[in-house]
Amino acid sequence: METNLQDFSLLSLITGASLPVQVVMALLIIASMVSWWYIFLKVFMLRRAENEANEFENTFWTGGDLTKLHESITSGHRSASVQGMASIFEGGFKEYARLRRQGGLESSDVMESSRRAMRAAFNREMDELDAHLPFLATVGSVSPYVGLFGTVWGIMNAFRGLANVAQATLAHVAPGIAEALIATAIGLFAAIPAVIAYNRFASNVDRLAIRYESFMEEFTNILQRKV
């Protein structure tokens, strides 16, 4: 009885599987580990982006001098770590101030250049926020099929093994089928967290994008009045 339990333990089923099924399991386990690493990275990244957006909005809407705010953002060691909404503000106001000092330009040209600078900063921020999301989407959508491939292969081998057996019983095919089904289980284990995380992160990124775009419009109106 103990031997049967040992034979059907998870480790023995994995080590006893055929080589293609083991390769599938290994790929799925690696994909799952990488997915969890990216999930933890995105949790901290998005939390930091939301906190920075809240902090900057609180400072910006106090009605202080925009020049002083720009200097505080770009001064010293902070200039290399400007991110999020502050980066959009820095890009737009820097271009605005440069063109105003230059002079000789129409207000529409000044505003258009500032808007393009903010849009470029916005695109950079969105690229960073969207990083690793395609990988999570790929793991979530592909992993079940990869696991299913391993299962089909394992079941096929299990039934092929019956060709050398005079009398086929469930005991002959049960180990092979159990080994094969583990591939599907691992595929689901990799896919489910990736899908949940992708949907949650995509929603958070969309909310941040709306906040950034709203700030760009409001800041553009402020600069328009200053012009």
Dump pLDDT digits (tens) for 25-62: 899 999 999 999 999 999 999 999 999 999 898 888 88
In a domain, 120, yes or no: yes
- How confident is the model over 154-166, as a mean pLDDT? 70
Alpha helices in 83-169 (DSSP H): 84-102, 107-130, 133-160
Which of 179-183, 207-211, 217-221 is least confident? Answer: 179-183
Report CA-CA distances (Å) from 13 to 37, 180, 187, 213. 27, 9, 16, 53
Report pLDDT for 30: 94
How many percent of the chain have pLDDT more than 70? 82
Distance of alpha carbon 23 from alpha carbon 35, whole angstroms: 18
Residue 85: inside a domain, yes or no? yes
Contact 46, 205 (CB under 8 A): yes
Residue 4 falls inside a structural domain = no
Under DSSP, the state recorded for 76 is G
The predicted structure's pLDDT at residue 1: 38
Residue 143 placed within a domain: yes
Amino acid 180: pLDDT? 76
Residues 125, 134: Cα–Cα separation, whole Å: 16
Separation of CA 50 from chain center: 16
Provide the residue range defining the domain that includes 194. 27-226
Residue 54 lies in a domain: yes
Q: What are the φ and ψ backbone dihedral angles of 167, each rounded to 5 degrees?
A: -125, 110
Domain-located, residue 3:
no
Q: What is the mean pLDDT of the chain?
A: 83
Q: Which two tokens stand for residue 109?
A: 């040209």
What are 86-115's pLDDT values in tens digits? 899 999 988 888 888 887 778 888 888 999
pLDDT more than 90, % of the chain: 41
The model's confidence at residue 6, banded by pLDDT at 50, 70 and 90, is very low
> Does a structural domain hold residue 2?
no
- Which residues contact residue 117 at a Cβ distance below 8 angstroms, ignoring those fewer than 6 apart? 91, 92, 94, 95
Number of domains composing the chain: 1
Distance CA 70, CA 89 (A): 8
State how far the Cα of 179 lies from the Cα of 160, in Å rounded to an integer.
Answer: 15
Distance between CA atoms of residues 190 and 140, nearest Å: 7
Under 8 Å between Cβ of 215 and 170: no
Is 22 among the domain residues? Answer: no
Whole-angstrom distance, CA of residue 14 vs CA of residue 21: 9
pLDDT band for position 217 (50/70/90)?
A: very high
Which one is predicted more confidently, 77 or 120? 120
